[in-house]
Amino acid sequence: MAFVPRLLVLALLPVILLLGAQVGYRPLGHALQAQTLLSSWLPPLLQDIVLLNRPRVKVRQGTVVGTTFRDGLPQPVEVFRGIPYALPPVGDRRFRRAQPIPDSDNTFDASQFGPRCPGKQLIPIKGNTGSSEDCLTVNVFRPQGVKEKLPVAIYVHGGAYNRGTAAMHNTASMVGWSDKPFIGATFNYRIGALGFLPSTITAEEDILNLGLHDQILLFKWVQDNIEAFGGDPNQVTLFGLSAGAHSIAHHIMNSDLGDTYFHRAIIESGAATSRAVHPYNGRLHEDQFREFVEAAGCKDIPPTEVMRCLRSQPSDAVINASFTVFDRYNPSVRWAFQPVIDGELIKQRPIDAWKSGRWNQVPILTGFNTNEGTYYVPRAMSRSAEFTDFFRTLLPAYSESDIRTIDALYPDPATDPSSPYVETRDIPVGAQYKRVEAAYGHYAYACPVRQTATFASQGQEVPVFLYRWAVNKTVLTGANHGDQMPYETFNPEVREISPTQEEIAGMLHAYFTSFIVAGDPNAVPGRYPHRPLWENYDASVQEGKRIMVFGEGNDERAGGGHVGVPAQMVEDEWSRRECDFWWTKAGISD
């Protein structure tokens, strides 16, 4: 007799789907605010039809129902998106540490990404779901047919702690093309003022580095729930780019975490010693906090009432104030809303943590790109004085002697015809652009990454692997910050450009996924069994430090005809002299 009702349900299916579209996607975190779950507006029989043949997993806060990706993948990937890992940090929970989702028996539609956390986006985001303060969601990607506990990789997105989202990373492609199976996870965490608002007032409320606390709460969620997806909580790799890489490095420096949440790390174009990590009450942070409070509409309020005011303001007022202050400091690259020394997650200057030896000794794969600075420095810079003024502004704690050293390390093309920074390209940039790009890229990214490899490899307690990304994407930007991301995922946008681009992407993807599943980029031969052996980086030797270089000499995407070398081990001599200087300044609070 059940056959007739099921025919009726099938007949009504278009109406059901229309209703679902009108109700819209609502993540788990709304469960305590309104009846928006599938189980609240569909009876069990209709739920069975709507969610027919979709993968489902029972986690602590309910059953999540995902989707399956097949197009362009050699194996199907089951995808569960938009799963909240914390209560919505809105209303009185704004500017407070996130709280975990309570257990429940509800059923949740996990077919779409949740909204991204509000941020000042630099580039358009594919699959844009809009932004909301209610943004603390996780996405899980697993190969179809999981029958054993698989290694897990958690991607921490970048974006200067003021932009970015989990949806930027094509994790489904990375998982689907892996020669050995693993489970991927991506997530959003609070950014901008909502995630990083250092000051004396916020320190007194114990709400510093909220974005880093969000990350740790997500790591706990993975430990509690990933086995339900077929993952092994004892084989977790953190990997991330830029601010995501900085974050991972800070977690490595936090010896209190031990090996509770992660066991390997891929740190791309970031380091704990990248840029400066100030005390929470540094003058710059206090100035930016005051400007933010005023822009948010809470000026002339007693200090004890400031946070109450900020929590009561409309979301747009708080978000726009965050954007305003970030934009004000962006030209100087003295960005607002950054992690700070809080005595808890970041106990001391990262350089001191390295020197103390108290850090989580896990296998590390790390690297940088040849032209890390091209996004960030003024393209129109044309005068020699602008170069030195740029670094005086960026690094006010540096002495005039330091500024003169920087000036000499990067020979001025205006006075030295043999300078490697003489502009010979036919592009609309100033005469000092190539020079300032190199200097800033070394200071902010390349040299701190190499410093990580040096400290982590001393004594060879754990394996360390170092790379440089050299594929020229455009004539203007060269091998720019973040360019390797679509290659590591074996994304069709790069692998379909040419056979050489496919080979470079395939090798990088093979190395990364081998490290994820085995802690060694060479362990899984896969589709590229003859790729070069990636040797351990060993800073203890005086000569013979070795680094993997990807795509040296390749300019196909920049309109050239050179394919270069997909991957090769070389002596680590690139910009060594410049990095030696920047390392001497790693302890200066700029």
DSSP labels for 157-182? --STTTS--GGGS-HHHHHHT-SS--
Confidence band of 123 (pLDDT split at 50, 70, 90): low
Q: Is the pLDDT of residue 10 over 60?
A: no
Candidates 465, 270, 407; CA nearest to 350 is 270
Residue-level length of the chain: 590
The predicted pLDDT at position 396 comes to 93
Q: E strands, 260-395, where?
A: 264-268, 364-369
| Domain covering 3-268 in this structure, CATH number | 3.40.50.1820
Confidence band of 586 (pLDDT split at 50, 70, 90): confident
Candidates 469, 437, 435, 467; CA nearest to 450 is 467
3-state secondary structure of 233: strand
Q: Is the pLDDT of residue 46 over 70?
A: no
* Cβ atoms of residues 230 and 149 within 8 Å: yes
* Cβ atoms of residues 270 and 295 within 8 Å: no
| Domains 3-268 and 363-584 fall in the same CATH topology | yes
Q: What is the largest CA-CA distance in the chain?
A: 91
Q: What are the angstrom distances between the C-alpha of 532 and each of 34, 510, 511?
A: 56, 11, 10
Let me know how many helices (H) and strands (E) the chain has, helices first: 21, 14
Give CA–CA dist 327/334, Å, rounded: 10
Candidates 46, 251, 224; CA nearest to 140 is 224
Angle between helices 283-295 and 315-329 (to 10 degrees): 140
Q: Is the pLDDT of residue 38 over 70?
A: no
* Cβ atoms of residues 437 and 374 within 8 Å: yes
Q: Is the pLDDT of residue 588 over 90?
A: no
Residue 31 has phi, psi (to 5 degrees) of -60, -35
Q: What angle do CA 146, 149, 151 make, to 5 degrees?
A: 100
The predicted pLDDT at position 109 comes to 97
The predicted pLDDT at position 328 comes to 96
Q: Is the pLDDT of residue 353 over 80?
A: yes
N-terminal to C-terminal alpha carbon distance within the chain: 76
DSSP labels for 491-559? -HHHHTT-HHHHHHHHHHHHHHHHHHHHS-TTS--TT-TTSPP-PPP-TTSSS--EEEEEEET--TTTT
Which residue ranges make up each domain of the chain?
A: 3-268, 363-584
Contacts of 277 (CB under 8 A, 6+ apart): 338, 339, 340, 341, 346, 349, 350
Contacts of 300 (CB under 8 A, 6+ apart): none
The residue whose two tokens read 């209303």 is: 91
Candidates 474, 386, 388; CA nearest to 428 is 474
Give CA–CA dist 182/566, Å, rounded: 25
The residue ranking higher by pLDDT, 96 or 38, is 96
- pLDDT > 70 in the chain, percent: 89
pTM attached to this predicted model: 0.91
Burial annotation 491-510 (CB, 10 A radius, 16+ → b, else e): bbebbeeeebbbbbbbbbbb
Mean pLDDT in residue range 294-303:
97
The residues annotated as belonging to the active site are 242
* Cβ atoms of residues 425 and 475 within 8 Å: yes
Q: Is the pLDDT of residue 209 over 60?
A: yes
Tens of pLDDT, residue by residue over 135-194, are 999 999 999 998 889 999 999 999 999 999 999 999 999 999 999 999 999 999 999 999
Give CA–CA dist 436/86, Å, rounded: 42
Give CA–CA dist 179/517, Å, rounded: 10
Give CA–CA dist 228/389, Å, rounded: 55
Q: Domain 363-584 - what CATH class?
A: alpha beta
Residue 68 pairs in a beta bridge with 78
Q: Is the pLDDT of residue 199 over 50?
A: yes
Sign of CA dihedral 13, 17, 18, 19: positive
- pLDDT > 90 in the chain, percent: 84
Residue 143's Cα: distance from chain center in Å? 23
Confidence band of 43 (pLDDT split at 50, 70, 90): low
Burial annotation 230-244 (CB, 10 A radius, 16+ → b, else e): bbbbebbbbbbbbbb
Give CA–CA dist 403/318, Å, rounded: 37
Tens of pLDDT, residue by residue over 485-543, are 999 999 999 999 999 999 999 999 999 999 999 999 999 998 999 999 999 999 888 77
Q: What single DSSP character describes residue 116?
A: B
272: exposed, middle or buried (Cβ count in 10 Å: 0-12, 13-18, 19+): buried
Specify the amino acid at residue 387: F
Tens of pLDDT, residue by residue over 440-452, are 999 999 999 999 9
Q: What single DSSP character describes residue 425?
A: S
Give CA–CA dist 83/313, Å, rounded: 27
449: exposed, middle or buried (Cβ count in 10 Å: 0-12, 13-18, 19+): buried
| Bridging pattern class, strands 77-84 and 67-69 | antiparallel
Give CA–CA dist 238/236, Å, rounded: 7
3-state secondary structure of 56: strand
Residue 124 has phi, psi (to 5 degrees) of -60, 150
Q: Is the pLDDT of residue 589 over 90?
A: no
The predicted pLDDT at position 441 comes to 97
